């Protein structure tokens, strides 16, 4: 029997983000987000072992959350959120829900 790995829905967005690691700030754009992580374009390549804080905001909701680099795909990089608490997980869930119903949002992005 084949095992299926289901992923949470991802949403196409265009949000400014700030990445912080070791006292450095790196500007970027979040291009896709889910409750587990995000795909972004950073102003400069992230270190291969990046683990730092991502700051983003949308309509007055601001989040700062730990994240780590999972992969680099050309000009975009994938980050996985590292939740310190259920409250952080819930906050990201609320932000993603808000973004998923934003005007102009076409729905989840289906990824193979």
DSSP state letters, 69-108: EEEEETTEEEEEE--SSHHHHHHHHHHHHHHHTSTT---E
- The whole-number pLDDT of residue 16 equals 93
- Residue 98's pLDDT is what? 87
**Which of helix, strand or coil describes residue 53?**
strand
**How big is the CA angle at 64 (ends 10 and 38), to the nearest 5 degrees?**
20
What pLDDT, on the 0 to 100 scale, is given for residue 2? 58
- Number of Cβ within 10 Å of residue 92's Cβ equals 20
Domains, the chain, ordered by start: 10-102 (2.40.10.220)
Burial class (CB in 10 A: 0-12, 13-18, 19+), 83: middle
Question: Running DSSP on this structure, what letter comes out for residue 8?
Answer: -
pTM of the full predicted structure? Answer: 0.82
How much is the CA Rg of the chain, to the nearest whole Å? 14
Residues of the chain with pLDDT under 70: 1-6, 103-112
Q: What pLDDT does residue 57 have?
A: 87
């Amino acid at each position: 029997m084949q095992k299926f790995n289901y992923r949470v829905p991802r949403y196409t967005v265009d949000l400014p983000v700030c990445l912080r690691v070791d006292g450095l700030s790196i500007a970027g754009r979040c291009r896709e987000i889910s409750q587990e992580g995000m795909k972004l374009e950073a102003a400069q390549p992230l270190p291969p072992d990046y683990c730092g804080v991502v700051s983003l905001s949308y309509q007055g909701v601001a989040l700062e959350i730990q994240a780590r680099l999972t992969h680099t795909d050309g000009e975009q990089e994938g980050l996985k959120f590292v939740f310190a608490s259920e409250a952080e997980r819930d906050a990201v869930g609320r932000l993603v829900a808000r973004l998923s119903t934003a005007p102009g949002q076409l729905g989840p992005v289906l990824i193979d």
